[in-house]
C-alpha cells in the first residue's frame, strides 16, 4: 500500500494534465459553436460576404466573448482568450462585462500579462486593432 501512495505522490502528471487541458479547450470551442453557431466555410461566397461586411469580425468577437464566459465558469485560464479579444479590438470594458467584473478589475487581472505578450519588446506599439484604452487604466 505504501508503494502505491508513494507512486501517487511522485508520478509525473504533467502529460495527463495537459491532455485534460487540451480536451477542455476543444470542448469550449465545441460548446461555443453550439451556442453561437458556426460561420460559413472559408473561401465560400458567404465567407467572403461576411469578411466584407464586418460580420466575420463580429463572429470572432462573439466567439471569444462566449469562450471567456465558459472558461471562467469552468475555472479554466482564460488568458489566451483575453489576448485574442484584445488583438481583435475588444476594449477592457467589453472584456470586463463578459467576465462580470469592473473594467479596472479586468485590467488588473489580465492587463500586464496581455501587454507583455502583445508588446513583448516594450515599444508601446501594440499594432493592429488593439483598443487604445490602456492609459485610462494605469
Return the half-sphere exposure (C-beta side, CA atoms, 13 A cut-off) of residue 54: 1
Q: Is the entire prediction scored with pTM above 0.75?
A: yes
Q: How many CB atoms lie within 10 A of CB 118?
A: 15
Give the alpha-carbon dihedral of 103, 106, 108, 114, to 10 degrees. -120
CA 83 to chain centre: 6
Q: At what angle do helices 55-73 and 45-53 cross, to 10 degrees?
A: 90
pLDDT at 135: 67
pLDDT string in tens for the chain (138-residue length): 799 999 999 999 999 999 999 999 999 999 999 999 999 999 999 999 999 998 999 999 999 999 999 999 999 999 999 999 999 999 999 999 999 999 999 999 999 999 999 887 777 776 667 888 876 666
Amino acid at each position: 500500500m505504501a508503494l502505491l501512495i508513494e507512486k501517487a505522490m511522485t508520478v509525473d502528471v504533467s502529460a495527463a494534465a495537459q491532455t485534460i487541458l487540451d480536451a477542455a479547450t476543444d470542448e469550449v470551442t465545441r460548446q461555443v459553436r453550439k451556442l453561437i453557431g458556426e460561420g460559413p466555410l472559408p473561401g465560400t461566397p458567404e465567407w467572403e460576404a461576411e469578411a466584407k461586411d464586418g460580420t466575420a469580425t463580429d463572429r470572432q468577437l462573439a466567439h471569444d466573448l462566449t469562450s471567456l464566459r465558459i472558461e471562467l465558469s469552468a475555472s479554466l485560464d482564460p488568458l489566451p482568450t483575453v489576448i485574442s479579444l484584445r488583438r481583435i479590438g475588444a476594449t477592457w470594458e467589453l472584456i470586463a462585462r463578459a467576465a462580470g467584473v469592473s473594467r479596472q478589475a479586468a485590467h488588473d487581472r489580465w492587463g500586464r500579462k496581455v501587454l507583455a505578450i502583445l508588446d513583448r519588446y516594450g515599444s508601446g506599439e501594440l499594432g493592429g486593432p488593439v483598443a487604445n484604452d490602456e492609459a485610462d487604466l494605469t
